């Protein structure tokens, strides 16, 4: 499943591991949309989505990111629930 995240560029680019829960201001000048591959969900100390980034293994945890899940917000953390997309075969 491909998802789009609303992220704060400078903060997002510095992610090195753990569960990411930084919420950018949607109209903040640093907010950008970024596509990632949703590959699973689980617990990494807390409920999270497991995402794979296109930046390669230098990003996050060997190319993966753990995003807070179950925030109680309709759109989810970083608006992950806005536009998930999957192929129809």
- Which of these is catalytic: 11, 22, 44, 53? 53
Q: What is the C-alpha to C-alpha distance for residues 30 and 7, in angstroms, rounded to an integer?
A: 8
Rg (CA), the chain: 12
Tell me how far apart the alpha carbons of residues 64 and 41 are, in angstroms, rounded to a whole number: 12
Task: Record the tokens describing residue 35, joined without a space.
Answer: 């596509």
Please indicate whether residue 53 is annotated as part of the active site.
Answer: yes
Q: In what order do the strands lie in the sheet with 31-43?
A: 2-8, 31-43, 47-52, 64-68, 19-20
Does the active-site annotation cover 30? no
**Which is the catalytic residue, given 11, 30, 34, 44?**
34
Residues annotated catalytic, as ranges? 34, 53
């Amino acid at each position: 499943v491909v998802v789009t995240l609303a992220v704060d560029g400078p903060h997002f680019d510095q992610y090195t591991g753990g569960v990411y829960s930084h919420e950018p201001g949607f109209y903040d000048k640093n907010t950008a949309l970024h596509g990632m591959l949703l590959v699973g969900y689980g617990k990494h100390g807390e409920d999270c989505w497991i995402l794979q980034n296109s930046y390669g293994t230098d990003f996050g945890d060997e190319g993966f990111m753990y995003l807070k899940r179950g925030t109680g917000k309709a759109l989810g953390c970083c608006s992950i629930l806005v536009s998930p997309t999957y192929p129809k075969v």
